[in-house]
Each structure stands twice: as structure tokens, then as C-alpha cells.
Structure 1
Amino acid sequence: MSVLTGAGISTDSGIPDFRGPDGVWTRNPRMADMFTYQNYMADPAVREQFWATYSGHSAWTAEPNAAHKAIAELDRAGLAVRVLTQNIDGLHQRGGMPDRKVLELHGSMHTTVCTKCGKSQPSQGVLARVEAGEKDPACQDCGGILKLAVVLFGQYLDPDVFSKASAIAAASQVFIAVGSTLEVHPAASLCVEAVESGAKLVIVNRDPTPYDHIAEEVIREPIGTAVPRICQALLQG
């Protein structure tokens, strides 16, 4: 079984989504500029806004919620489950899923990378520099531009990561998409890959998605109650 998760699974942990009625980009469409690679690399002001926004972001202190924990309980119970997440918050791992069973399709906010020399480091050290007054912290080794190790608009997903995700989707008997608009590609295409390989697709999302028509079941119930219920049924099943 595979679970594809999007921003909606983390809203109960206090992390706002992007495209929902009260989403970050819905309320302020210009915020999307910060998440475009070309803008980020070309404009120091965009980077300053990005770091200022993320230095106090709720995701740093968020805790796993009932949905994260329910999925991890499937793994602890011995079910073969893999998580393919579009999220960068690391809450699946903190909720109990082993690192090796979580594929972070869009990277992780907990690591920062230099776009020039490639050096990686924990993001907390960079955030401390921002909080100390550095508006656009540069790599201390080469002076290059620092960026959270996440995929921005205009960047491609890591081909190795996506290849693994495709193989997992194709091998799934059940594929559950949780809290994703299924509008961001290529991650959303994993639903089609799973179904074409014979999986039963279950979509848990507040709003309609482009893939509802190929789903075995579409659940509009709140994620915080729907996912634990589904997981409990699988454990009993």
C-alpha cells in the first residue's frame, strides 16, 4: 500500500496549505513569487522575503497529528506501507514512519544547500543567522546563494527519487492520496500510474481533484478523522 500526501494532511498540525480557501497563495498570490526558482536566484529581495517568512514559520514547531500517526501505526503493525509526500515538513518521520519508507518528492526544509558549491547543512544554523540579522545569508564556504533543499517552481524533481516513487506506485495494490489537490505534476501523475498498474485509488481531500473520476472511492470527510478511520479498517481487515 502507498500513501501520497499533500499539504492538507499537515493543516491539523497548524501548517497552512497553499491552494485552499484560506491558503497562503490564495490569500496573497504574490507569495508564489518566492517559490519560483528563477525569481529566488535572481532577486535578493525575494530571498530576503523568503528567509524572513520561513524563519518564523509554524512548520518548525509543528507536531505530527492524528493522520500522520495513524499511517505510521500501519507500519508498526507490519503492513507494507510506503509514504510518498509532497510535503517538506518531515512530520511523517516525526510521527513514527522510518526515514527509509518516506520519499520526500519535493525535498526537505530541514536541510539547506548551497546552490554554488553544493554543500548541505542543517537549516537551523542558517535560520539562527537570519534571526541574528542576516537578511540573505550566503554560503560561508564559497559565498554562494543558500536555499532550502526543496523543489521550487521551475526546478525538476530529483529523477532518482521520482523513479523510486513511480516504481512504488506501480507496485501498489491500494494507493491512497491524502490532502493533495493533485494539480502539481509530476507527483499527481502517480495516481494514474498506480491505477493503470491495477491499484485501487482512494482520494481523501476536502475539494474535488482532477483524478476523482478514476478513484475507487472519494472521501470528503476531514483528514484528521478520515485517515485514522481508514487505517483502523485496514488493520482490522
Structure 2
Amino acid sequence: MDEQLVALAESLVAADGVSVLTGAGVSNASGVPTFRGDGGIWNDGFDPADFHVDRFESDPAGFWTDRHELHERMFGEVTGPNDAHRALARLEELGVLDVVVTQNTDGLHREAGTNRLVELHGDAARSVCVACGESVSTEAALDDVRAGTAPPTCPTVGCEGHLKPDVVLYGEDLSAAAYGSARRMARESDVFLVVGSSLTVAPASTLPEEAAARGELAVFDVAETAKDHLADYLVRGDATETLPALVEAVQARLPNEVTVGDAGGTAQEA
């Protein structure tokens, strides 16, 4: 097994606080395309300007028409959580991992069994009314768009406010509560892992810097990232292989009564 994984496993078992930041690279193996690079959304005929909050406010019908196409491209072939999602859920189940902070909006961490989750960019499966705050499923909103009713409106009787995907659009700030929680975990964790993120997009890209100033930083990615120079552990490779290997190494260093279950298995709520 990779010496980096062995050393990291020992640090995780000894740590009082462990957090993870995940990016698009974690979900790519599940059929969710990345935004940048080869095969990325923004190189596949979609324009980020079409998904700016100003577009939503000035042309909600056009925004939702384009959003439908984007949603189908992003989530139309999703196969469910992969071994990387399941490995992180397993680390939580083992009591090693405190929280997953994710830049992804696909909900796959929750589906894999992660309970302590901070979604920095929201959840694409939900949409909210901008007038009253009512939450509905995005599929219900998209059904209206498919039926020719765009923009979709609030189902609450007497409201009829426009629905908006419950994600952070271009031009919007991150949720203060979500980002505050993420910064607190980065600052307080003995070990902070980054998995599948290029670490080029602020403000999430600043979290590893805050974490490295306090504790150890581990970076998992198939390629170099913008924060590799800060890392105590650099693990190259597909996260669907490296994270289950990390779980295996962690389980080997825990008391036998704690390690019931297979590495990478789906976590069950305690």
C-alpha cells in the first residue's frame, strides 16, 4: 500500500478532528461531468453567463429553459454514489471523519450515507420560491418547464412566486452559514482532506490554506492542484481507488470491534 496512505491513516486514527472538502472529481466516476477541462460543461456548448443570477432575475423563462438542458446534461446519466462517496461515508461510520464539506450539488454524498454534510453550493435536487421560501423538488419544477410553463412558479396557493434552483448561481455569494461552518471545520481540524478539487475557485480554495495553518493537509487528485505545495500528504490517483484503500488502512489501525463492515461500504445511521 502507498506509504502516504499508511501515514495518513495513522494520523486520521490519532486525530481529534477530521474534515474533508470534495469537488467535482469525486462525482465524475458516477457520470456527473466536471465544469472545466476536457468534457467539461463549459466546454460543451454551455455559457456560464446564461446561469448568472442577473439572467434569472431579468429573463427567468429563458434561464429555466437553459437550466433544463444543463440539468439533463449534468445529471441525466448519473449512476448513483461511487466507491469514493461510500468510502467517505464509511470513515464517518467508523468515527474517524467529522464532516464532509462539498462543492458538489448532486446529493451523492447524502445518498451514500454521509450524515454530517455541508453543501457549499446547495442542492440541485431542490428549488425554492424567491417570494415565500417554499421548497419543492427540482424535478417538479422541470416538469413544468417540459410542459411549456417557464418559469415554474410556487405551488403555494396565492403565492405564484418564481422558483429558483437551490444552488449558488454565478453572481451570488455562498450561504454565510454553510461557508462559516466550512471555515470553522478547516480551522479546527487536526487533519483536513481535499478530494477531487482543483482548488482554483474561491472562496472554497482558501479552506486548505486555513487548514494547513492549523493542522495537516492531505490532497487527493489525479493531477496537480493549486495547493499541492501546502500538503503534508499528496495522493495521486482515482479517488474511487485511493479512498477505499485509505479506509482499509484506517480499519487496520482501529480496534477490531470498531471495524465491522467492508471498506468502502455504505454507512448506516448510528
TM-score after normalising by structure 1:
0.90
Q: Secondary structure at the match of 1:210?
A: coil
Paired residue for 1:75? 92
| Cα offset, 1:59, TM superposition | 5.7
> Is the contact between residue 220 and residue 239 of structure 2 (CA under 8 Å) also seen in structure 1?
yes
Larger relative contact order (Cα-Cα within 8 Å, sequence gap ≥ 6): 2
> Is the contact between residue 64 and residue 94 of structure 1 (CA under 8 Å) also seen in structure 2?
yes
Aligned amino acid, residue 38 of structure 1: D
1:87 to 94, 100, 104: 104
Deviations 1:148-196 (A, max 9, x none): 1001111111111111111111111111111111112111211111111
| Cα offset, 1:77, TM superposition | 1.8
| Cα offset, 1:57, TM superposition | 4.3
> Is the contact between residue 7 and residue 179 of structure 1 (CA under 8 Å) also seen in structure 2?
yes
Aligned amino acid, residue 54 of structure 2: Q
Q: Aligned equivalents of 1:127 and 1:183: distance in 2?
A: 31
1:157 to 162, 167, 174: 174
Paired residue for 2:50? 34
> Is the contact between residue 4 and residue 176 of structure 1 (CA under 8 Å) also seen in structure 2?
yes
2:198 to 181, 201, 218: 181
Paired residue for 2:238? 222
User: How many equivalent residue pairs?
Assistant: 233
Tell me, which stretches of 5 or more residues in structure 2 are unaligned? Answer: 1-17, 254-270
Q: Which has the larger radius of gyration?
A: 2
> Is the contact between residue 130 and residue 136 of structure 1 (CA under 8 Å) also seen in structure 2?
yes
| Cα offset, 1:78, TM superposition | 2.3
> Is the contact between residue 32 and residue 78 of structure 2 (CA under 8 Å) also seen in structure 1?
no
Q: Aligned equivalents of 2:122 and 2:147: distance in 1?
A: 26
> Is the contact between residue 31 and residue 77 of structure 2 (CA under 8 Å) also seen in structure 1?
no
Q: Aligned equivalents of 1:80 and 1:57: distance in 2?
A: 28
> Is the contact between residue 55 and residue 130 of structure 1 (CA under 8 Å) also seen in structure 2?
no
Matched, 1:16 2:33: yes
1:106 to 121, 144, 162: 121
| Cα offset, 1:87, TM superposition | 0.6
Deviations 1:92-113 (A, max 9, x none): 1110111xx1000111112101
| 1:225-236 paired onto structure 2 within 5 Å | 225-236=241-252
Q: Aligned equivalents of 1:131 and 1:39: distance in 2?
A: 20
Identity %: 35
Q: Aligned equivalents of 1:229 and 1:152: distance in 2?
A: 35
Paired residue for 2:217? 201
| Cα offset, 1:55, TM superposition | 4.8
